[in-house]
Chains A and B, each alone.
Chain A
C-alpha cells in the first residue's frame, strides 16, 4: 500500500515515510538540504530543493489529506548520474537530484493543477508557483498502484557543475546562476526569461518541459475552498 521503492527512472537512494504532521517538515527539509549539499549542489540550490519539498508536502497535507496528521507521505531521493562511493570519495558524479513525493490521497484532475495569477495580491496559493520556479522539472501523476487513489509529484533539480565536471557546484562560474543570484531567483538548467512584471526575478522563471503551464499543484487561493473545488 506504500509508495514505490523505485523512482521513475531507477531505485531511490533514500526513501522516507512520514506521517502528514507538519511537525516533521523541518526534518525533511534538513534531510533534503544536507543530502543535496553532500552530492555537490550549491547552498542556494540546496535551499531551493528544501523549499520545493516543503511546499509539496504542505500541499499534500492541506489539500490531499485535509490537514489530517496521521496519513502517510513518502519522500524519495534519487541521485541522477550516481553518487560517490568510499573509493571515489571527493568526486561529484551526480548530475541532478530527483525528489518524489507520493501520497494516498484522492486523485485530482491533473489539468486543474496550476499556479494562480500572481498579480492578485492575496494570501495563499503560492506553493505550486514556487515549486515550478525553483525546480527544473515538475511532473504530477496519478498513482496506478492504489486502485484509484494517490498522487505522485516528481521534481528534478539539475546540478550546475564546473566545466571539468569534477567538483561541487560553483554558481559563481555559471553565468545563468550568477544572473539568477543577482536577481534573487532560482537558477535552473532550462531558464527562460519570465513574463513577470517584476523585473527583479525575470531570470528565475522556468520553462518546465514536462508540465508546461499546467503544472502546479494546489489549488490557488483559499485552501479550504480550493480543496473543495478540486475534489480533494
Chain B
C-alpha cells in the first residue's frame, strides 16, 4: 500500500504513446489518469497507447472503469491499447472483473511497443 497519491508521466515514441502512472488509482485519483488518457488519445498519428502499470501498487474499480473507457475509445479510433507490467494486486482486480483477457496485457513496456 502506498500514500494514495498518483502522478502520471507520458512520452511519445513514434506512433506509440506511453503513459506511466505511479501511485494508487482509486476514485479520488482516477480523474488524473482519465484526463491523461483522454488527452493522449486525441494526439494525431497515434497507433498504440501503452499504459505502464509497473508503478501502480493499488487499483480499485474506479481505475478499472478508466481503463475500460480507454479501451472503448481506442476501439472507436482503431488504435491499440496495451497494459504493461501490472503488479499482482492490479492483475488480480482485472481478473476478478474478468477483464484480463479483454485487455492486451504484457510483461513489460518493450513488449507492449511491439504488440
Mark A residues whose CB is within 8 Å of B.
22-23, 25-27, 29-30, 33-34, 47, 50-51, 54-55, 58, 61-62, 118-119, 121-124, 126-127, 129-130, 133-134, 183-186, 196-198, 200-201, 204
Mark B residues whose CB is within 8 Å of A.
1, 3-4, 24, 26-28, 58, 60-62, 64-66, 68-69, 71-72, 88-89, 91-93, 95-102
Query: Which secondary structure characterizes the binding site on chain A?
Result: helix
Provide the residues of chain A in CB contact with B99, threshold 8 Å: 121
- A sample of 10 more A-B contacts (CB under 8 A), given A119-B98, A122-B72, A201-B95, is A26-B28, A51-B60, A118-B97, A121-B72, A121-B99, A123-B64, A123-B72, A133-B96, A184-B91, A198-B101
The total number of A-B Cβ pairs within 8 Å is 100
User: Complex Cα distance A134/B60, Å?
Assistant: 13
Mind listing 24 A-B residue pairs with CB under 8 Å? A22-B26, A25-B4, A25-B28, A26-B3, A27-B4, A47-B58, A47-B89, A51-B93, A54-B26, A55-B60, A121-B99, A122-B72, A123-B64, A124-B61, A126-B61, A126-B97, A133-B96, A184-B100, A198-B100, A198-B101, A200-B100, A201-B95, A201-B100, A204-B96
Q: Is A126 within 8 A of B91, CB to CB?
A: no
Q: Is A25 within 8 A of B26, CB to CB?
A: yes
